[in-house]
Structure 1
Amino acid sequence: MNEENIKQNSWKAWLLAVRPKTLTGAAVPVMIGCALAYADAKAYGDDVFNWLSASLCLLFALVMQIDANLINDFFDYVHGNDDSTTRLGPLRACTQGWVSLDAMKRAIALTTCVACVVGLPLIIFGGLEMILVGICCVAFCFLYTTHLSYLGLGDILVLLFFGIVPVCITYYIQLHTVTPSVAIASVACGLVIDSLLIVNNYRDRDNDRRVGKVTLVVRIGSLWTERLYLLLGVASCLLGIVFWYQGHPLAFFLPLIYLVLHVFTWLKLRHINHGRRLNECLGETARNMLLYGIMVSVGLLLL
């Protein structure tokens, strides 16, 4: 797509603003939650698993991810954190003028409403407590970009809202309980997805430090960030031993393929260290993350 000839508020502009490549981060936790629930549902009969509620969980997660991307685009521009001359990551719609501020405000309001409409029927399957879950998802979607990411709390939110919450809630909606093994699996998923935020903030560390955005990477420095990136992949696979004990050894062994690729990306991360070339590591991390979700899910469903 030629980014130099994009008409303001055109479909091409909105496609770039939505950032479709990031949607895998929303899909992977729901995928794992569904695989866990489907595998355990066999003990209750094949008719226990509800595909409609699973589809609603996935759709809600995807819409919320789009909402988060638009909110991030808008507020980073307002805060002055997006400078087209120093930005190393993909260009943003508001900063480039591809999407007007008024149009972005309306889009944020629309996607937030759509997420609420999509999530509301989950009350039927998961009970009234789903309202509280939805409120928390929407609230922290805004708080992340506007406040919490500037305090170095982004990684905690990723662990919660891209690991623990979506995996456990997806499972709970199906079987109305959450087992210790599901909780452990949700933490492992959150660690894998946090590696994407780590490499993103590693790339942007100099600019974040300049504008006062104190991410975890800014706090601990480059060397410890590189070590943390490797540790996230190793820890997530070690936590997967819970699958083995639950009678799903393939769900432990198959993600080791992910770990090999994660290590190769870590070596490249250390070698590149600075600059736009780190976007290669970002793309590889997203690929690895999706592979992890697929390997865990396949491992759970095969046995």
Structure 2
Amino acid sequence: MKRSAFSLQPSASAAIWLQAVRPKTLPAAIAPVVIGTCMAYGDGAWSVPVTVAIFLAAVLIQIGTNFANDYFDFIKGTDRADRVGPTRATAAGLVTPGQMRNATMLVFGLAAVLGLYLTWIGGWPIAAIGVASIASGVLYTAGPFALGYLGLGELFVLIFFGPVAVGGTYYLLTHTLTGPVLVAGLAPGLLSCAVLVVNNYRDRHTDHVTGKKTLVVRFGRGFGRIEYAVTLLGAGVLPVALVCMSPGHAWSLLSLLTLVPGFFLVRKLWTEPDPDTMNHMLAQTGQVLVLYSVLFSVGWLV
């Protein structure tokens, strides 16, 4: 009898799919929504159903992007046996390509359903953001001009995990958009870029062999170190510009505290860490993103 698209050994199925979700990447989806929600709340706008829908849609798009990356990197032969990062479900044979493809379509489909509701709330600009987000999630690794293979990954992450996510959240709750909101969005975008830089720095050797021309592959490890410092530490000082634009939110400078772990992470990358250490750095950079979003959001509301 033919197996269903999602049939796996019952004891292993949940653990395998949870691994494929890549939970450590989810802060990149959640952090900008937290910031946008708190900025809207500070301006007197709040809606539980809209906020919940935004959070769920953001998480689903991130998971769908992870599934698409898992599938297309396997199809293109990028995920090899000598991969130093976490195990990819399709490449490891834990999930068939068909299962991963169908899971990708299912998750993006659920995100699209939520997008219909959010479009009803926010209009066609939100529909455009949703379509562009899903399309970019697929095109990050799919097709002959995949964003991640052309060195455009950081630009994609900066835009969609930064001003688009923060601004879109704020707009859905307030039906307006302001300059400080878009500037605030740059910080989670930069910190998400920092996560990507660590990933690309760790994978630079296998990416070079398989033709994945990330910025680290194109310009070398020295560039990668500088890029990591700029994205990680640059995000930390953005609140200074925001306080100049919105003097009533001086407590948002609490987020400057993230410069402390950021400095130690930058120094660690300059010591040429081994792949296992970089896997830990990947998680730690994500934790800085979470810490920043919490400190900034709390400070903004004080």
User: Is the structural similarity TM-score above 0.5?
Assistant: yes
1:165-216: per-residue Cα shift (whole Å, max 9, x none)? 1100001111112111111111122111110000100000111111111101
Instruction: Show the 5 A alignment for 1:48-59.
Output: 48-59=45-56
Instruction: Quote the residue 1:280 is aligned against.
Output: 280
Q: Partner of 1:276: helix, strand, or coil?
A: helix
1:74 is aligned to 2:71: yes
Instruction: Show the 5 A alignment for 1:20-39.
Output: 20-39=23-42
Gaps of 5+ in 1: 1-5, 42-47
Instruction: Quote the residue 1:12 is aligned against.
Output: 15
Shift of 1:273: 3.7
Shift of 1:124: 2.6
One-letter identity of the residue aligned with 2:60: V
* Cα distance between partner residues in 1 of 2:9 and 2:28: 29
One-letter identity of the residue aligned with 2:124: L
Contact 1:163 1:191 in 2 (8 A): yes
Q: Partner of 1:94: helix, strand, or coil?
A: coil
One-letter identity of the residue aligned with 1:75: F
One-letter identity of the residue aligned with 2:41: Y
One-letter identity of the residue aligned with 1:123: T
Instruction: Quote the residue 1:45 is aligned against.
Output: none
Deviates more, 1:209-218 or 1:224-233: 224-233
1:64 is aligned to 2:61: yes
Instruction: Quote the residue 2:105 is aligned against.
Output: 109
Displaced runs of 4+ in structure 1, greater than 6 A? none
Matched residues, number: 289
1:199 is aligned to 2:202: no
Shift of 1:272: 3.4
Instruction: Show the 5 A alignment for 1:159-170.
Output: 159-170=158-169
* Cα distance between partner residues in 2 of 1:275 and 1:190: 24
Q: Partner of 2:162: helix, strand, or coil?
A: helix
Contact 1:203 1:276 in 2 (8 A): no
Instruction: Quote the residue 1:260 is aligned against.
Output: 260
Shift of 1:102: 1.5
Identity %: 39
Shift of 1:7: 4.1
Contact 1:7 1:13 in 2 (8 A): no
Across the aligned residues of Structure 1 and Structure 2, the Cα RMSD in angstroms comes to 1.5
One-letter identity of the residue aligned with 2:104: I
* Cα distance between partner residues in 2 of 1:209 and 1:273: 19
* Cα distance between partner residues in 2 of 1:256 and 1:238: 6
Q: TM-score, normalised by structure 1?
A: 0.91
Instruction: Quote the residue 1:92 is aligned against.
Output: 88
Deviates more, 1:184-193 or 1:149-158: 184-193
Instruction: Quote the residue 2:4 is aligned against.
Output: none
Q: TM-score, normalised by structure 2?
A: 0.92
Shift of 1:51: 2.0
Q: Partner of 1:272: helix, strand, or coil?
A: coil
Contact 1:272 1:278 in 2 (8 A): no
Gaps of 5+ in 2: 1-7
Q: Partner of 1:10: helix, strand, or coil?
A: helix
* Cα distance between partner residues in 1 of 2:86 and 2:196: 14
1:103-152: per-residue Cα shift (whole Å, max 9, x none)? 11211111111010112111232113222111111111111112111100
Contact 2:183 2:242 in 1 (8 A): no
Contact 1:217 1:225 in 2 (8 A): yes
1:36-60: per-residue Cα shift (whole Å, max 9, x none)? 111122xxxxxx3212111111110
Contact 1:27 1:61 in 2 (8 A): yes
